[in-house]
C-alpha cells in the first residue's frame, strides 16, 4: 500500500532538524590548523592594539607646537636627531624644533605628538622645512584605538577565516579551542546504480550523488566514511545503516525515500526504531526529503535525484552540521536579485532553481542555470545560487525581484528567513 504523506513547510522542516542537533564537543588545536574550524571560546584581547602610540606613515615625528605659524612664505625648519624603524624606539625625547625620521608602525618617541608625511616636507642639510602647522595627534595611531585589553572581539560559535587567524595570532593564541568536527556516513541506495568507472548498461545509471555529497562535505572540511552503494534489499540495507550509525556522528543516505515498493528507507527507520521528523516537504525539488533521528544521531534521507539531493543537503544537512559545531550562523546568506529571464512554471510548492548570479550595471541579476527538473545534473554544475520562488505563485517574468540563496559562502547568517 502506498504511504500517504503530508508535506510540511520548509521553515518547519528546518526547525525540526535544528531542534534535534546536539553539540559534539570541543578540542584544542594548533593555530596553523584552525582555518575553517568553529571557535569554542571567545577571542579576548590580551593587550591593547596598537600596544603603543605609533606612526601610520613613513615621515617625521615632531612636537606639533613647533609647527605653529608655518606657511608657504614662512617655512619652519626642523633638525632631524635620529631615525626610528619599526621595532625600535627613540634614544631620547625630542626637544624644540627637533624631529625623528620615523617608519610606518614605529613607536612614537617621547614628547612627539604629530607625524609629518614625507611628501609634506622639503629636505635640508640637517633636516627639513614645513609649510603648514600640525595639530596634536595628527597622523598618529594611538595605543588601544583598535581594541582594548580585556575586550571581547569575536564570540564563540564563529567560523575561523583568514581574518580571524590574524586576530588570534596578534594576541598570541598559539593554540585555539574549537568545536570538534563530526564524521559523516554516506550511503547511496538503489539497484540501478553503477560505480563511476563502470560502463553504462541498459536500465542503469552511474552514482553521481555519492561523489557529490562527498564534495559538499569536503567544501565544509567534514570528514566522512563511505558505505558505498547498496542494492534495494531490505535486510542488507538495514545492516549497513546500523553499522554506519555506530561508526559516525550522522548518516546521509541518497535514494530510497520515495513511496514505491523498492524504496526501503522508511522501513529501515521503522525497524531501527528511529523517530521520523518529517518525510515530505512542500518544496521542489526534494519534496520526499526525509529526516529521522536515532539515539541523538540524525539520518538525512536525501532524494536519489541529483538536483533534489543537492538542494536537500544545502537546506537541511549543511546547517545541521554547522550547528553541531556550535556555529551561530549556519544558514545560507540571502539577497535580492532581478530575474534575468522568464520562469513561467507555477509553484504549488516553494521552488529552488539552480541559477547563476552576477553584478551588472543594473544591479544583481540571477538567471536559471539550465535544465531544472529534479533529476538534472548539468544545472548543478553551472549554478552558484538558488533562486527561491515561494509557493502559491504562478510564474515569474524577467525583471521581477526574487530572493536568492548564495551557495558555497564561507560565512552564513543566524536566522532562517524564508
> What pLDDT digit, counting tens, does each position of 204-243 carry?
877 788 899 999 999 999 999 999 877 667 888 899 999 9
Per-residue pLDDT at 261 exceeds 80:
no
Q: Is the peptide bond before 95 cis (omega within 30 degrees of 0)?
A: no
Q: Using a CB cutoff of 8 Å and minimum separation of 24, what contacts does 270-275 make?
A: 271/238, 272/238, 272/241, 272/242, 272/245, 274/299
Q: What is the mean pLDDT of residues 283-303?
A: 95
> In this structure, how many other beta carbons lie within 10 angstroms of the beta carbon of residue 148?
13
User: Is the pLDDT at 134 greater than 90, yes or no?
Assistant: yes
Q: Which residue has the cell 526574487?
A: 402
Over residues 141-177, the pLDDT tens digits come to 999 999 999 999 999 999 999 999 999 999 999 999 9
The pLDDT, as a whole number, for residue 194 is 67
pLDDT tier, 2 (very low <50, low <70, confident <90, very high otherwise): very low
pLDDT at site 373 = 59
pLDDT at 395 over 90: no
Strand partners of residue 206 = 194
pLDDT at 256 over 80: no
Do residues 59 and 115 make contact, with C-beta atoms less than 8 angstroms apart? yes
Buried b (16+ CB within 10 A) or exposed e, 350-373: bbbbbbbbeeeeeebbbbbbbebe
| Helix %, strand %, coil % of the chain (to 5) | 20, 30, 45
352-380: average pLDDT: 84
Q: What's residue 208's pLDDT?
A: 82
Is residue 326 within 8 A of residue 157, CB to CB? The reply is yes
Q: 218: helix, coil or strand? A: helix
| Span 374-378, average pLDDT | 65
Q: Are 22 and 321 within 8 A, CB to CB?
A: no
Q: DSSP string covering 45-74, please? A: -SS-BSSS-B-SSSEEEE-GGGGTT--SSS
pLDDT band of residue 382 (cuts 50, 70, 90) is confident
Nearest to 334 by CA among 283, 403, 414: 403
Higher pLDDT, 189 or 310: 310
pLDDT at 406 over 60: yes
What does the alpha-carbon distance between residue 207 and residue 229 come to, in Å, rounded to a whole number?
8
In this prediction, residue 230 carries a pLDDT of: 76
Q: Do 239 and 338 touch, CB atoms closer than 8 A?
A: no
Q: What is the mean pLDDT of the chain?
A: 92
Q: Is the pLDDT of residue 64 over 50?
A: yes
Please compute the mean of the pLDDT values over residues 60-77 and round it to a whole number.
97
Average pLDDT in the 275-304 region? 95
Omega cis (within 30) before 50: yes
Percent of the chain topping pLDDT 90: 78
From CA 402, how far away is CA 256, in angstroms rounded? Answer: 33
According to the model, what pLDDT value does residue 372 have? Answer: 65
- φ, ψ for residue 53 (rounded to 5)? -65, 130
Average pLDDT over residues 13-32: 96
Higher pLDDT: 198 or 270? It is 270
pTM: 0.88
Average pLDDT score over residue span 60-70: 97
Q: What percent of the chain has pLDDT over 70?
A: 95
Q: Is the pLDDT reported for residue 14 higher than 70?
A: yes
Amino acid at each position: 500500500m502506498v504511504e500517504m504523506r503530508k508535506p510540511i513547510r520548509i521553515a518547519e522542516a528546518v526547525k525540526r532538524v535544528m531542534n534535534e542537533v546536539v553539540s559534539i564537543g570541543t578540542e584544542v588545536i594548533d593555530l596553523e590548523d584552525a582555518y575553517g574550524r568553529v571557535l569554542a571560546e571567545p577571542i579576548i584581547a590580551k593587550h591593547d592594539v596598537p600596544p603603543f602610540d605609533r606612526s601610520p606613515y613613513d615621515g617625521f615625528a615632531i612636537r606639533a607646537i613647533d609647527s605653529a605659524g608655518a606657511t608657504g612664505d614662512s617655512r619652519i625648519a626642523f633638525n632631524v636627531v635620529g631615525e626610528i624603524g619599526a621595532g625600535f624606539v627613540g634614544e631620547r625625547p625630542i626637544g624644540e624644533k627637533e624631529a625623528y625620521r620615523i617608519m610606518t608602525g614605529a613607536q612614537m618617541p617621547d614628547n612627539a605628538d604629530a607625524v609629518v608625511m614625507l611628501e609634506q616636507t622639503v629636505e635640508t642639510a640637517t633636516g627639513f622645512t614645513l609649510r603648514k602647522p600640525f595639530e596634536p595627534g595628527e597622523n598618529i595611531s594611538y595605543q588601544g584605538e583598535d581594541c582594548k585589553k580585556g575586550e571581547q572581539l569575536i564570540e564563540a560559535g564563529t567560523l575561523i577565516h583568514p581574518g580571524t587567524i590574524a586576530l588570534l595570532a596578534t594576541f598570541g593564541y598559539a593554540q585555539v579551542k574549537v568545536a570538534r568536527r563530526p564524521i559523516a556516513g554516506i550511503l547511496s541506495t538503489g539497484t540501478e546504480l553503477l560505480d563511476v568507472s563502470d560502463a553504462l548498461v541498459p536500465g542503469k545509471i552511474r552514482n553521481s550523488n555519492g561523489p557529490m555529497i562527498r564534495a559538499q562535505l569536503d567544501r565544509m572540511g567534514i570528514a566522512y566514511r563511505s558505505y558505498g552503494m547498496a542494492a534495494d534489499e531490505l535486510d542488507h540495507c538495514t545492516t549497513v545503516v546500523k553499522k554506519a550509525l555506530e561508526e559516525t556522528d550522522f548518516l546521509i543516505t541518497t535514494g530510497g525515500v520515495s513511496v514505491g515498493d523498492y524504496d526501503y528507507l522508511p522501513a529501515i527507520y521503522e525497524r531501527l526504531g528511529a523517530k521520523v521528523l518529517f518525510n515530505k516537504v512542500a518544496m521542489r525539488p526534494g519534496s520526499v526529503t526525509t529526516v529521522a533521528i536515532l539515539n541523538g544521531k540524525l539520518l538525512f534521507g536525501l532524494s536519489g535525484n541529483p538536483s533534489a539531493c543537492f538542494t536537500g543537503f544545502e537546506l537541511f544537512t549543511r546547517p545541521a552540521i554547522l550547528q553541531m559545531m556550535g556555529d551561530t550562523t549556519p544558514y545560507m546568506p540571502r539577497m535580492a536579485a532581478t530575474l534575468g529571464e522568464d520562469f513561467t512554471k507555477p509553484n504549488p510548492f516553494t521552488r529552488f532553481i539552480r541559477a547563476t548570479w552576477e553584478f551588472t550595471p543594473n544591479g544583481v541579476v540571477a538567471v536559471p542555470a539550465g535544465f531544472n527538473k529534479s533529476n538534472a545534473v548539468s544545472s548543478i554544475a553551472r549554478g552558484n545560487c538558488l533562486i527561491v520562488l515561494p509557493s502559491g505563485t504562478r510564474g515569474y517574468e524577467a525583471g521581477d525581484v526574487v530572493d536568492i540563496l548564495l551557495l558555497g559562502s564561507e560565512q552564513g547568517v543566524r536566522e532562517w528567513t524564508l
